[in-house]
Amino acid sequence: MYEVRLRFAPSPTGYLHVGGARTALFNWLLARKEKGKFILRIEDTDVARSTQESVDAILEGMTWLGLDWDEGPFYQSESFPVYRQAVERLVNEGKAYRCYCTSEELEAKREQAMREGRKPKYDGTCRNRTGDVPGAPFAIRFRAPQIGETSFHDLIKGLISFANEELDDLIIQRSDGTPTYNFTVVIDDATMGITTVIRGDDHVNNTPRQIMLYEALGCPVPQFAHVPMILGSDKTRLSKRHGATSVMAYRDMGFLPEAMVNYLVRLGWSHGDDEIFSREELIEKFSIEAVGRSAGVFNPDKLLWLNHHYIKSGDPQRLAGLLVPFLRERGIDPAAGPDLAAVVKTLQERARTMVEMADGAAFYYRSDFPYEVEAVAKFLTPDVVPLYDGLLARFATLSDFTHDGIETAFKELCAEQGIKMGKIGPPVRVALCGGTTSPSIYEVLEVLGRDEGRRRIERAIGFIRGKGA
């Protein structure tokens, strides 16, 4: 039975970039839709640049996004014996050969070709050499076909063809014995039975060389789909100058994984006019053929809009758990205060990120906050003290200190004093949170509870009286 097998194969030389995350996501979605396998492979053959820290960052990013893998992670560095055997096989079959050209000679040939207006490709000096050069270092080159075309049907871009005469004999093993990327990726994908390769379109030019290697090895050639790159707002390749490019940086900025997944998949793929998809809907509706051929432009405002949607509609208990580390970063112990899920409910409507939610939640857990200077001058005035006292008297008699009961107490006070809510509401808000911006004061009081609400209003009364003295 045919099984769809896809892979994500990052190099551990840095963090998980949003472009890499989108590629991983497309592979994961197709594997899940086709009930196939999603394989994670770490391409760590660049020993000088590969680090365990980068491996950990990639795994952490994948886990945060919920892109679970069925097999792996496999590490290329553990497959050197397999690569060497494949190289030896191609040499023995006459499909690869030793190249003794030095780097200086190759550079001279390249410069001469450039001066003569020719494509700077290897000229085949060692292609038909007979006999070895004892003691001389050598690389191994693949003996590529020199006539005809190499074509493939890209699932996104359509038919792509390359004239074989434009392709030189690829080095598959360096003079130090290490294999090259284009060779290892073919061996790995063939060994792992990869049926579909979804990757960035910066790999299009590698594809004909890899197809030649598959055919020389007698291995099935997978299908290819090359995803357009992600651009910044200035239509250049997305980089740090456009803002954060690390997936985990967005987590630290307070974005939810479901918002990032939804945004990344829509950055190139569409399904009608729909903007918001659950993970289950993405799996059901996704198709690689519906990925556009044009580059996507990263729009932070659109991501922020999506994040706000998922916060507003999120489960308060789950959001409370996600909020904890952001509160602790601010020196707040969420256990030393009101129920965090109840706090979250009052903040979901406005908060666009978990950072904004943490900032908005701080006053719930800090009763010694300073009052905003402008709010003091405008609202913490002596004429407010009797209104505070009247409100506290009503709070004391409330049998049910809930939103509705608290609202009734305010309405009764306003009716008795012949004032509008605008006269008492802002001063109470300042007393409760230190400023004029907060969730509904009825919600805030319900969450704080009768005793803490009373203490904060009494503190404001003391401040006003002290200011008058």
Q: How far is CA 289 from CA 26, 205, 225, 285, in A?
A: 11, 20, 9, 11
Question: Crossing angle of helices 207-217/80-92, nearest 10°?
Answer: 70
DSSP 233: T
What six digits make up the tokens of 444? 């805030």
- Antiparallel, parallel or unpaired: β 71-75 and 37-42: parallel
Rounded distance between C-alpha atoms, residue 172 and residue 190, angstroms: 16
Q: Which residues contact 399 (CB under 8 A, 6 or more apart)?
A: 405
Question: Crossing angle of helices 300-312/257-266, nearest 10°?
Answer: 140
Which of 35, 235, 240, 345 is flagged as catalytic? 240
Residue count (the chain): 469
Residue 98's φ and ψ, nearest 5 degrees, are -80, 135
Please confirm, yes or no, whether 302 is among the known catalytic residues.
no
Q: What is the DSSP string of 62-84?
A: HHHHT---SEEEEEGGG-HHHHH
Rounded distance between C-alpha atoms, residue 383 and residue 454, angstroms: 18
Q: If you search the block for the tokens 């006459």, which residue do you land on?
A: 94
Element (H, E) at 97: strand 96-99
Residues catalogued as catalytic: 240
